[in-house]
Homo-oligomer: A and B are copies of this chain.
Amino acid sequence: MQPDLLPGTRAASVLQNLRHHSPLVHCMTNDVVQSFTANVLLALGASPAMVIETEEAAQFSPVASALLVNIGTLTAERRGAMLAAIHAANESFTPWVLDPVAVGGLAFRTQFAFDVLALKPAAIRGNASEILALAGEHSAGRGVDSADDVLSALPAAVRLAQLTGAVVAVTGERDYITDGENAWRVDGGGLLMTRVVGTGCALSAVVAACCSLPGERLDNVAAACRFMKRAGEQAIAASRGPGSFIPAFLDELYLLNAGELA
């Protein structure tokens, strides 16, 4: 099964919604990508806020448009704060997104990721290894790099979506986004994006932003993937290497326009 490409007109319409609503994204993410994640959201017209103390996190997620939970540098303290934020988000109908970084190999984060699957994430964004692991299958992942082919993880993504009710995005050379029933494919980007830290983690933050928008969640999450792939391929064309890619990528996100996407 090869899902259809997300139509450009749908991505364009989600971009217009994103710029119009400027969602406030409560990011509970790992130590490595904090600044890049914030800059990606700002470039696209959303607003980031990193609130991590347990009480504050529970106080803030109901006020935010969406909550991102990324387990890249999970600790016992952050585990508690994330759980408090997720529960408060659920009580106030704030959508929350799980980025299960490197799940499967490391015991502490793997247990946490399985625990929160039951807490109704609006979306889950991971690479093929991570989605396979979350769906209970064997994976060949090494750290954050996916060693599995993305398409081969789509059946696992479909099952994970059916199990959790989340829209699941399995991303890599191509991205596949499914709600368990339908699926979209998103093309673009390029290998240089894997030589810069945080492109996947920042995508999850954009997914969270888009989960707060009106319209079909499946389309919204797929559009988030398309924004990053489109800005990525344009930035790669203008870059000598990963260093010049970073500013070019943020510029392209900022300059992204609906007409071009359509």
Contacts and interface: CB of A to CB of B under 8 A. Distances in A.
Interface of A: 24, 30-36, 38-39, 42-43, 47-53, 55-56, 59-60, 63, 72-77, 102, 105-109, 142-145, 194-198, 239-244, 246-255
A39 B242 contact: yes
Contacts of A106: 51, 56, 59-60
A232 to B, nearest CB: 12
B250 A49 contact: no
Nearest to A192: B254
A249 B56 CA distance: 33
B50 A31 contact: yes
Contacts of A73: 50-53
Contacts of A30: 50
A107 B42 contact: no
30 contacts: A24-B142, A24-B143, A34-B35, A35-B35, A35-B198, A38-B197, A38-B198, A39-B242, A42-B194, A42-B195, A49-B143, A50-B72, A53-B109, A55-B108, A56-B74, A56-B107, A56-B109, A60-B105, A195-B254, A239-B251, A241-B250, A241-B251, A241-B254, A243-B246, A243-B248, A243-B253, A244-B247, A244-B251, A246-B250, A247-B247
Contacts of A194: 42
Given A47-B145, A246-B247, 18 more contacts: A31-B34, A35-B197, A39-B196, A39-B242, A42-B242, A47-B144, A48-B197, A49-B143, A52-B73, A55-B107, A56-B106, A56-B108, A59-B106, A195-B254, A241-B252, A241-B254, A243-B248, A244-B251
A140 B75 CA distance: 34
